[in-house]
Amino acid sequence: MFYDEARIYVQAGDGGDGCVAFRREKYVPYGGPAGGDGGRGGDVILFVDPHLNTLYRFNKRRHFRAARGEHGRGKNQHGASGTDLRIPVPPGTVVYDADQERLLGDLTVPGQELVVARGGIGGRGNARFATSTNQAPRIAEHGEAGEARWLRLELKLLADVGLVGMPNAGKSTLLAAVTAARPKIAPYPFTTLQPNLGVVVLDSETEFVLADIPGLIAGASEGKGLGHEFLRHIERTRVLIHLLDGLSTDPLADFETINGELAAFGHGLEHKPRLVVINKIDQPPAQERWPTVQQAIEAQGYPTMAISALTREGTRELLYRTHQMLVALPAEAVTPQALPVFRLEEKEDEETFTIEREADGWRVRGKQVERIAARTVWNLEEAVRRFQRTMEHLGIAEALESAGVRPGDVVHIGETELVWED
């Protein structure tokens, strides 16, 4: 089975908590605060492993979590950062945020990396809060939660040339004849149930990768047959070999059907350089049809050839001609593009907040205030007072009062639940 799609859940490590501690050595007067910071949580990173060619491993495991940072300790000992979790994926993997359907990255180059979930920063220990007016602070922070998201992975094969055509046109036979690949071959439709790759080696300096895409039928772009599932794999190819069945009752109708499906699928498939090849030319019916088919197709501006994949007649010339088409492409189309490693979200105004009335109280939403609430250690009086000052500084306290909050009302901020008091 060829696994070219997967859905996985990634969870970065949480940051470690800061520590409240004081130095108490016998000969160190006024030792002061000595609580260390928590360590940063580990990131989740996808990286390209050239030895992989499917997403099969994600069929067995779908949840991935990086290590959390260690908590801070006394004597100004900072917690160790969590170990990053590195997940290998095959070249050609496109990564989307599954919930937002937003492209995160396109991994094509061996060794290329993509940070898909960033670890939470560690909480500060009380040594960080010492000032000239507060030399013995009893305040620390919880570590920040690591990012978590569902990802949709989509594999698009990295091949130079793609073989397209109706079922039983002979694509698998041609692939087996010109490469070391051994696809399943049988005289019935949909023998090929998955894309197959093979490396064509013409000489010591001439080679390219050839992909056999499962047969298309009318309506493939709308999900009929097998073609729609695999059409994405020819998006990255630079040249298409459109193989026609010379024994078909109407090769020209087959040609127009495939053209229509490529155009309907979009993504520029219909504009790719294409060599139209009629197969099974060793058979008399194909020989009779060939002049008419050749004239009609070349009238549309496509180059043509006639071959027999079974007897290998004309296959060597086909490969050299295909290589010439590859070489003739503009340099920018030939050179693989290494896309951005990571696209950060546009940073919104962190001090922005909203207040909503709910059935059981009030809900305050805002990036900064929710983060501060989550990091506040509520059993430390100084930490609570600091949070109250933040509410006043951001104007949230005044906004709540203007909205009608009363003593005893419940106020929700993120996962934190507070009771309003004058």
The DSSP code sequence of 107-161 is E-STT-EEEEEPPPPPPPPGGGG--SS-SS----BPPPPPPEEEEEEEE----SE
For position 326, what pLDDT does the model report? 86
207: domain range? 161-334
Please give the mean pLDDT across all residues of the chain.
82
342 inside domain: no
Query: Is the whole-model pTM more than 0.75?
Result: no
Length of the chain: 422
Instruction: Please state the domain count of the chain.
Output: 3
Q: Are residues 394 and 280 in the same domain?
A: no
Q: Are residues 246 and 128 in the same domain?
A: no
Q: What phi and psi, each to the nearest 5 degrees, are found at residue 47?
A: -140, 155
Sign of CA dihedral 208, 214, 216, 221: negative
Q: Are residues 89 and 122 in the same domain?
A: yes
Please identify which residue in the block is written with the tokens 């994949």: 309
345 inside domain: no
Q: Where a domain ends, among 134, 155, 176?
A: 155
Q: Are residues 382 and 319 in the same domain?
A: no
pLDDT digits (tens, 9 = 90+) for 181-227: 554 444 544 444 456 667 777 776 777 778 777 755 544 444 444 44
Query: For the chain, which residues score pLDDT lower than 70?
Result: 1-4, 158, 180-197, 204, 215-233, 266-267, 331-351
Q: Are residues 216 and 314 in the same domain?
A: yes
For position 265, what pLDDT does the model report? 75
56 inside domain: yes
pLDDT digits (tens, 9 = 90+) for 378-405: 999 999 999 999 889 889 999 998 888 8
Q: Are residues 398 and 270 in the same domain?
A: no
Q: Are residues 101 and 246 in the same domain?
A: no
Q: Where a domain ends, among 128, 155, 182?
A: 155
Of 333, 291, 168, 159, the closest CA to residue 236 belongs to 159
Q: Are residues 205 and 128 in the same domain?
A: no
